[in-house]
Structure 1
Amino acid sequence: MSEENKKMEIQAKRVQARLDNLQRKYAFMTVQRLKANSHAAHETKSLKQEKVPASKTYKVPPNAQVYELLTVFMDWISDYHLRRLRSEEPGTDGEKLQLQLASQRNEIQERCVKLLPTMTEQLQWMPCVSARLHEPFAKFIYWSLRQLEAGALHSTMTATLRRLGEDIFRGVVTKGTQDTSLEHSLENKPKTAAFFRSSHLPLRFLSTLIVLKTVTQADYLAQAFDSLCLDLKTDEGKILFLEYQAVPVILSHLRISSKGLLPNVIDSLLQMTVESKSLQPFLDACSNTLFFRTCSVLLRAPKLDLQILEKLSIILQKLSKIKSNKKLFELFTLHLMLQEIQRTTHPEHAFLCINLNSTLFNLGLTKCGPLAPAAGH
């Protein structure tokens, strides 16, 4: 019996040892499985953190060439279609051709009205694309706005244009992701698309003109004209002014109701009268009914500021040298207004008197020649 008991004890110990081993193995495997699950969950979470912000924040197609292709099309459409603006001058084309051109303009305007809200929305993603693509984008917007000058502005466009102008003025900032890990630290930095405040003159100039076309806040407009005057002191700025046919944009603000802005407006025009290669093309751009009508309305305003009058007289004196402009002076009775101003101006305002006398002499309305040529500023 004792031997059997010993055998049973030995067998029981072996079974217990085996059971202990199995329990330890089970416990070890359980811990390993939990660790593996935890690691997998962490990886899944990290992967989600990487993917979600990228898609939500930027939404930019991985193929950047799509944007480059679009800007090529924008340049093409801007240069060969949108920049061809309707002229106010009476044409010699037949009635049938005039109707055809009017129909084409209406179609272009309808397309511009449809596109501008989308373009305004797309401004929010400009920080995410190459900065060199911003200029074609702004150019397309500018010429679309210019196309709308000739037609009745759709009532629903008012809010769109206001937002467009404000975004161009302030610039657009796109926030980065919320991931705080080191590997995403670069993505966390906000990306900015500066338009009106760009250091690149062509983009800044275009943006300034867009602001002048869309914004109504006096402080924004004052800053825009200040920027424009500075840029027009450069030859490149003058060339851009002519390239973007900016005279009508400026004339829309040359009115007595914009009294606070008038000095800025007239200064921007005066910058273009400085002797340069751009002077004659600028004078040609002013030799039309729109310019002379605007000046006529302004000169009819009572108690026009003397400095405004002096600066305007410089431009009119230079325009009076172009013989074909005589009929425009007469059409809007500017010659009569200038004669009346000359008659009532005190002799101590010599600069104004000289310019008026020179202008009237060029128009063949006085026998005495000018005492001195009109000065710049």
Structure 2
Amino acid sequence: MLTIYEQLKAERQGQRQWQRELQEREKRLKQQEEAVGRLAGLEEMLHTRIAAVQEKHQHEVSQLQDLLRERNKENRRLKSSFDTIKELNDNMKKQLNQTNEQNKKLASQSKRVHARLENLQWKYEHSITSRGCQNVNVKTTECIKPSKKEKMAASGKPRKEGSSSPTPLKLLVLLLDWVLDGQTFSSVAPNKGKGVGQFLPPEIVLNERCLQVLPLLGDQLHQTPLSEPILLLNLLRLIHWALKHMDSSTQHVALSATLRRIGEEVSKPLTQSTETQSEDPDLPKSCSGAAGGSCRSWPLYRSRCPHIRILSTLIILRTVTQADVLAHALDSLRTELMSEESRGLFIHYGGVCVLLLMLRAGRGGLHTPADIFMQLTEQSRYLNPFLELCSCEEFFRVFSQLLKNPRLELPTLEKLSILLQKLSSIRKNRHLFELSSLHLQIQELVQRSSHTHTFLCLNLRSILHNLK
């Protein structure tokens, strides 16, 4: 019985333990059931919220789609308007370009007509003056009727035909006024009769005097015979100085007709004019042409005097724009610079600056100026002065533009490289190479040059070696 009681007791304790476990499991299940209920409520709430958010999103998407359609319509309208405006703008640009071209053509025609008018006025005045002189000479010969010996004696002396013309007197007045206003006489006899002009800056006064004297110098050059070489030389020197001053001046004044007339006087041989022919049948024609002084069978840049040749050529290069005349003048200059004396005169009168002006303006081509530069780089007593003149910012800027030319030929490039190689050996020119970016261009040329161009590659590498 005790054994059975113990067993029953143990069984009862096991059942109680099992009951407690079942209660705990039931409690956990109830908690899980409550949690599941709460989750179900949350799920329903989430579903409702998700539905509301989806509905709101769809509404916003529909609104954005409507706005996008409106914006697309507006963009299409703007694009069509832009295309229309662009087409109108292109048409206006074409019309503007055509108008500008027509304006340039009309301006050039107007300049030519104005220059032609000035030329015709000058020729008309000159013809009137020459006719007056001829009438005076005819009347004098009719009244006096000298003997044959007196005529022959008179024919041996050049007749001063320009003495009756006002041009020499005006030129003399201007030049005397110019000299008396200089530093030499300013402290002794100051000019008080000038009025307001004396208070102008010297640059403006000098420009006005150059403008006044250049047409008269052209007239006087026309009347000066070859039998007066000293007067002819001084006239050319003064013309060259005035042109040089006008080029370097800050005030740019158009003198196309005057410059054209001066260029024609220097570059073309004069034909024998009617007023130089004597009315006396006993006087030979050759003597009458020599007496008048207007008959020249060759242009001044082919004169016997090297001084006159150099000055005439420089004046032609400054004044003439015709390609054939420039080509003849440059060929003559290239031949002339074979002489040591002519090189000195060329350097003295600033021929390097004249060539640079031509190269910068693109006149006269590049082949002959390159030959002239190569001639001047040859060994002579004027080599160092020539290199000093080339050691300036303007020279390096012009050469930098020349090297950018894609159509630069190999022989011309080799000639230019010779001069650049000599300039690179001067230490003070290094900053000019850097300032004009010539060293970078030379590096590019070294990279682009073919190995077959041995001479060019050697010169370019020598330049880069000197610049290090």
> TM-score w.r.t. structure 1 length?
0.69
Note closer, same or farther for the CA distance 1:243–1:128 as it changes in structure 2 (3 Å cut).
closer
Match of 1:161 among 242, 255, 259: 259
Q: 1:138-217 to 2 correspondence within 5 Å?
A: 138-151=236-249, 152-155=251-254, 157-175=255-273, 176-183=276-283, 187-189=287-289, 191=293, 192=295, 194-217=299-322
User: Where does residue 143 of structure 2 map in the other structure?
Assistant: 47
8 Å contact from structure 2 (residues 317, 329) kept in 1:
yes
Q: 1:127: how far off?
A: 1.7
Q: 1:339: how far off?
A: 0.4
Q: 1:214-363 to 2 correspondence within 5 Å?
A: 214-255=319-360, 257-258=362-363, 261-363=365-467
Aligned to 1:117, the other structure's residue is in SS state helix
Query: d(CA) in 2 for partners of 1:125 and 1:256?
Result: 32
Is the helix fraction higher in 1 or 2?
Answer: 2
Aligned to 2:162, the other structure's residue is in SS state coil
Query: d(CA) in 2 for partners of 1:45 and 1:134?
Result: 30
Structure 1 residue 123 corresponds to structure 2 residue 214: no
Structure 1: runs of 5 or more not aligned: 1-42, 82-101, 365-377
Q: 1:246: how far off?
A: 1.3
Query: d(CA) in 2 for partners of 1:134 and 1:273?
Result: 31
Query: d(CA) in 2 for partners of 1:186 and 1:341?
Result: 60
Query: d(CA) in 2 for partners of 1:145 and 1:247?
Result: 15
8 Å contact from structure 1 (residues 226, 264) kept in 2:
yes
Query: d(CA) in 2 for partners of 1:304 and 1:126?
Result: 43
Taking only aligned residues, the RMSD between alpha carbons, in angstroms, comes to 3.1
Query: d(CA) in 2 for partners of 1:215 and 1:343?
Result: 40
8 Å contact from structure 1 (residues 342, 356) kept in 2:
yes
Query: d(CA) in 1 for partners of 2:140 and 2:454?
Result: 83
Match of 2:163 among 33, 56, 61: 61
Supply the AA of the counterpart residue of 1:294: V
Query: d(CA) in 2 for partners of 1:142 and 1:131?
Result: 16
Q: Deviations over 1:115-166 (max 9, x none)?
A: 11111111221128623211011000001000011234322x1111011101
> TM-score w.r.t. structure 2 length?
0.56
Query: d(CA) in 1 for partners of 2:162 and 2:258?
Result: 23
Structure 2: runs of 5 or more not aligned: 1-138, 184-199
Query: d(CA) in 2 for partners of 1:44 and 1:146?
Result: 44
8 Å contact from structure 2 (residues 226, 232) kept in 1:
no
Supply the AA of the counterpart residue of 1:218: A
Query: d(CA) in 1 for partners of 2:325 and 2:216?
Result: 24
Q: 1:188: how far off?
A: 2.6
Task: Report how many residues are paired.
Answer: 287
Share of identical aligned residues, percent? Answer: 38
Greater Cα radius of gyration, structure 1 or 2:
2
Q: Deviations over 1:78-134 (max 9, x none)?
A: xx99xxxxxxxxxxxxxxxxxxxx943332222111111111111221128623211
Query: d(CA) in 1 for partners of 2:204 and 2:465?
Result: 44
